[in-house]
Amino acid sequence: MTRLGAVARSLTSPYARALTEPVAAAVLFVWWLAGPARPIMQDLGMIPGRSDMSVTNVYAILVAAAFAASLALARLSPFLSVALAALAVLAQVAGWASRFSLTGWVAYGILLAVVAAVSVHAKGRMRVLAVCVGLVLIPMVAALLTLPPLSLSGQWGLINGKPWGSGEIVVGFAVWTGTQLVLTSAIWFLPAWLRSLRRAESQPADAAGTALSALSFREREVYLWVASGMTNSEIATAAHIEESTVKTHISKVLAKLELTSRVGIIAHAYRTGILLPEPA
């Protein structure tokens, strides 16, 4: 059990967590390159004709690599992550040679992993920016998948094989736009929902409801984080807000509970039974 515990602690250490996104990015890119991207053009100095949808060329490979790099950067810099993903999609809209082949389009799945990573690491205004960029990119990706002028062939939709003028083009575009909105929304809000469930399970609901009735939902969250010993920086990261906003919430908590310091919050939590002392 001791060895298992040591392994578990090593896997959850800050250094191991920092490698999560880069490792996931490498695995997804290699999987795409070895599977859906095939057959890959042998002569990288050539560009396939627009009617050849079975070839993944060097430009499409660079786009998929940019998606993977976007995922790898999500923890280090959510801004760079979002910007790189946006530039890669814009490059595909602007240049047909960078668009995916008939099977290579599944590289867009890497963007779903980017959404998950950015939703965890972005905070404050960066979260708003990420949502705005996502709302622009979603219809672009849907267009690249369904509209003939934006496919690699230039003659028919990438995944539906329909020429321009077919009634299924509009339906396909709408379906893929809606599907992406549902998936990205679910992925975006999932981490916060899971965190709220864990916090709810770890706290005595009755005691918290009575003692913290004067606080708003966000103020209760900040109260519990302060009581558990988290710093302002750690709270800002967990709540995806700025440290200045954390300080404002703490000031409101202190005023509403008539306390004077963070130590007072901790004492209040133990005194009201919200936090229980560890058994000796």
Radius of gyration of the chain (CA): 24
Confidence of residue 156 (pLDDT cuts 50, 70, 90): confident
Asked if residue 81 lies in contact with residue 114, where contact means CB atoms within 8 angstroms, the answer is yes
Asked if residue 16 lies in contact with residue 10, where contact means CB atoms within 8 angstroms, the answer is yes
Place of tokens 């060097």: 58
pLDDT at residue number 274: 80
What's the rounded Cα separation, in Å, for the pair 181 and 138? 7
Q: Which domains does the chain have, with CATH numbers?
A: 2-190 (no CATH), 203-271 (1.10.10.10)
pLDDT (average), residues 46-74: 84
Residue 265 in this model has a pLDDT that exceeds 80: yes
What pTM, to 2 d.p., does this model score? 0.69
What's the rounded Cα separation, in Å, for the pair 117 and 71? 7
Asked if residue 227 lies in contact with residue 275, where contact means CB atoms within 8 angstroms, the answer is yes
Contacts of residue 133, Cβ cutoff 8 Å, sequence gap at least 6: 82, 85, 86
Confidence of residue 29 (pLDDT cuts 50, 70, 90): very high
Give the residue with greater pLDDT, 196 vs 161. Answer: 161
Write the pLDDT tens digit of every residue in 94-124: 999 899 988 899 999 999 999 999 998 888 8
Confidence of residue 205 (pLDDT cuts 50, 70, 90): very low
Indicate the range of 67-76, 212-221, 241-250, 252-261 predicted with least confidence. Answer: 212-221
Write the pLDDT tens digit of every residue in 226-252: 988 889 988 888 888 888 999 999 999
Largest alpha-carbon pair distance within the chain?
A: 75
Residue 3 in this model has a pLDDT that exceeds 60: no
As beta bridge partners, residue 56 has 40
